[in-house]
Every structure is written in C-alpha cells, then in structure tokens.
Amino acid sequence: MFSPSQEEHCGPTKDPIKYGELVVLGYNGSLPNGDRGRRKSRFALYKRSKANGVKPSTVHILNTPQASKAVNCKVQHSISYTLSRNQTVVVEYCHDKDTDMFQIGRSTESPIDFVVTDTVSGSQEGEETPITQSTISRFACRVVCERVLPYTARIYAAGFDSSKNIFLGEKAAKWKNPDGHMDGLTTNGVLVMHPRGGFTEESKPGVWREISVCGDVYTLRETRSAQTRGKLVECESNVLQDGSLVDLCGATLLWRTADGLFHTPTQKHLEALRQEINAARPQCPVGLNTLAFPSMQRSRALSSLEDKQPWVYLACGHVHGYHNWGHRSEQEPNAQRECPMCRTVGPYVPLWLGCEPAFYVDVGAPTHAFVPCGHVCSEKSAKYWAEIPLPHGTHAFHAACPFCATQLSLTQGYAKLIFQGPID
C-alpha cells in the first residue's frame, strides 16, 4: 500500500480518507524500472485538503474563433465543442466544493495526477519497451469523487489541459442531447466494464461500454475511433464499483475501492504463502533437487532465472526444475517439450508469483498458473481473469494475464500446478 506522502497533490497526512486505487493491468507490483513520481503501476486517490472538483455552469455559443479564444483565456475550466469553422459551443465549469477531481493521461504536465503509458504485453523483462506511437490520450480521463460518504467515484472521458480546457475539434464525435446540453467522445474513447457481482470469486464479466465527456454511458462504436457514437444506455451509470475496468486504448486500469482493498491479500500475506510453499520443499520429480519460488522483489522484476526456479509443463501442470531434454522443436526449444512424468507435450516455462495483491479476488494459495506466461496466483483469481475479455487494438477483445498482459491461450487459460513433495 502507498503512504499518503507518496501521492501527489493529495490530502492531509493525518488519517487521510482513501477513495480507492487505480491499478494498471500488466505490471506485477511495480513498473519494470521502478515507480517514479506520478508514473507508477498503481495510484491511490485520497481526499484532498481542499476540494478541486468542477461542475458545468455557463454556456456560450460563439461564431468566431477569436471569441472562443477569449473565453478560454479565463481562469475557470471549460469544454469547447467545435461544430464548424464558424461555430463553437463553450461550456464553462465552476468550482464544486463537494467533489475532488483526479486526472489520468499520457501527458506529464501538471494537471495530470496519474501518468499512464502504453502497456506492452509480456515485455516486463526489466526494460521498458519504447512505444513508437501511443494510442493513449495525453489527457485521457478524469475521476471525480464525492467528498462525503459513501465517497462515490465517477469517471468521465477526457481531462482538462494546462489551460483548464477540454477541446473537441471538428472531427471529434459530438452532439447536443435532447435536454440541450452538449456532449462528445474522445478520439479512441474511454471504455468501462463493471463486473456483475463486484470483484469477488463469484463475479462474472459485465458488458464493455463507452463513457462520454459528460459521463453518460453508450454502447461501443463500430470501431474504436469511429465518428458515430453508440446507443445511449440509460439504465447504466459512470459510477465506478470495486473491480471496474477502465480501458484507455493502450492501457487498462482496475479500480479498487478502499473497502475492496481491505479484503484483498496484503504483500505480507503473499510473502507468507510463498514461504509456505518453499517450506514444503517441493522437488523436481526427475532431478530430485529442491525447488523454491524467488523472492517477491525478484518476481516483480522478472530478473534472471534462479537455480531453484520452478518450471512447469503447462499442458499437464507438472512442476519440475529446469532441465534440457524432451525438445520437440529446434527453433523454439521451450515451445514443445515432453513432460517426463506423463509424456504430455506442450510449452515449458518458468513460474513467477503474482505479486500485485489488487488482482486477487480471494486470499487463496497460489496453486494455478496462467497459460502461456507462467504467472502464479490462486485458483479463483486465475478463473476470474481467464473469463474477462480485455480490449485489444481497435476492436478485438481477449483474456490476458493481469500480471504481464500476455494474451491467454484460447484453449486453456490457466493450469493447475502439480508439485511433488520431498521423498525423505
């Protein structure tokens, strides 16, 4: 857990109220090169010492670009909807003493509280892979939390820039609602999925929706950046619940409420489970050498493999130490290996513990591994994530390992691990 002092622009240091946390999928407890400042794998939202929320107030209809610029030079926040070269609607926002606002995006400018960059699946080898062209918006979205119980958190597409403006140009999807207020969508959109039944072992995937700039809920567009919006879903809202997923087209965030986090395993609990497995002295059934899961720190970094590192035949689940026989392919030596125990042929990979507690739906023992990456977690957590379709590219969805973002096998998303105990 993060201490309040590690959070930027957040509330008082004396017993701060935590609204919740946003955790980036694809990272095993920290960024590959470590968390730095506003760029990290998880961000805790605390009640601010002074409210910074805003709410709509005055609407201006402007017929010249110069007039639009004049309005936007004022100190308050505003959203500009460019309808044509000669007409812009500017909605001014005034201070809201009842809410706190937190902004998320790729930009490192000061209005962004949580800097998020594109997640590259399976690339957590200690080095961050540079992205040639990011699809995440510089000012992607904003989360607005009510300052009084029950501290409701709502999500909105787009964030205010350094000039306190959100600008939707001519090509952006925008419209006037029947009640007269303007609304729109960002280029690649902000998608949200609320799981049915919260974030528990009984939860089931919800339906992915798109959130508008004003917080309304829509069905997905035909493609991610299509200019025609989906249909309004009036029975759903932009209120985040424990386990809600927010996709920014390049990175997916998991929202955990303060209460939800209270019921998740802690780092100490996961470390105790690791030590418990190692204390049982699991053995390689062939080499008869004792196996041991690496420390949590080494697991987070996916550093060099250790001598006692457990490996698994994913097709059958038998856990071994590393050995160099049973190859079925010269090109990819570990893609097709024959298990010495049962002769099943399949991928042979090292096992790494899942170190990010927020991704666990229960406090069960780490008994299952995701296929094909080899990250280990509880059975119920493995089953949960194997059923969650995550956005990929412009219109594809697939399940992925939450600890490294590797796409899971379509035929077998996870495998039960079969350890052999010591013979003596």
Q: What is the pLDDT of residue 201?
A: 84
Q: Work out the average pLDDT over 203-210.
A: 94
Choice between 40 and 387, residue whose per-residue pLDDT is larger: 387
CA–CA separation, 124 and 120 (whole Å): 8
Choice between 128 and 386, residue whose per-residue pLDDT is larger: 386
Q: What is the pLDDT of residues 140-188, one digit of tens each?
A: 999 999 999 999 999 999 999 999 999 998 888 999 999 889 999 999 9
Instruction: Pick the closest to residue 147 from 329, 10, 5, 295 (CA basis).
Output: 10
Instruction: Pick the closest to residue 28 from 401, 349, 407 (CA basis).
Output: 401
Which tokens is 16 given?
């701060």
DSSP of 349-387, one letter per residue? EE-EE---GGG-SS---EEEEETTT-EEEEHHHHHHHHT
Three-class SS state of 318: strand
The answer to whether the CB of 143 falls within 8 A of the CB of 45 is yes
Torsions phi, psi of 67, nearest 5?
-65, -40
Q: Work out the average pLDDT over 217-223.
A: 94
Q: What is the pLDDT of residue 420?
A: 86
Q: What is the pLDDT of residues 49-87, one digit of tens each?
A: 999 999 999 888 888 766 656 566 667 899 999 888 888
Q: What is the pLDDT of residues 375-396, one digit of tens each?
A: 999 999 999 999 999 998 767 8
pLDDT band at 301; cut points 50, 70, 90: low
Q: Work out the average pLDDT over 31-41.
A: 79
DSSP-H helix ranges across 199-314: 258-262, 267-279, 296-301
Q: What is the pLDDT of residue 40?
A: 86
Q: What is the pLDDT of residue 423?
A: 54
Mean pLDDT of the chain: 86
What is the number of other CB atoms lying within 10 angstroms of the CB of residue 365? 13
pLDDT at residue 303 greater than cutoff 60? no
Cα 14 to chain centroid distance, Å, stands at 29
Q: What is the pLDDT of residues 130-139, one digit of tens each?
A: 556 788 899 9
Based on its alpha-carbon atoms, the radius of gyration of the chain, rounded to whole angstroms, reads 24
Q: What is the pLDDT of residue 9?
A: 45
pLDDT band at 11; cut points 50, 70, 90: very low
Q: Work out the average pLDDT over 26-53.
A: 88
CA–CA separation, 133 and 6 (whole Å): 30
The answer to whether the CB of 78 falls within 8 A of the CB of 50 is no
What is the number of other CB atoms lying within 10 angstroms of the CB of residue 413? 21
pLDDT band at 124; cut points 50, 70, 90: very low
Q: How far is CA 344 from CA 97, 265, 317, 352, 368, in A?
A: 63, 34, 10, 22, 18
CA–CA separation, 211 and 217 (whole Å): 5
Q: Work out the average pLDDT over 77-102.
A: 92
Q: What is the pLDDT of residues 145-158, one digit of tens each?
A: 999 999 999 999 99
pLDDT at residue 24 greater than cutoff 70? yes
The domain defined by 267-416 carries CATH number 3.30.40: yes
Question: What are the extents of the domains in the chain?
Answer: 18-263, 267-416
CA–CA separation, 91 and 181 (whole Å): 9
pLDDT band at 25; cut points 50, 70, 90: very high
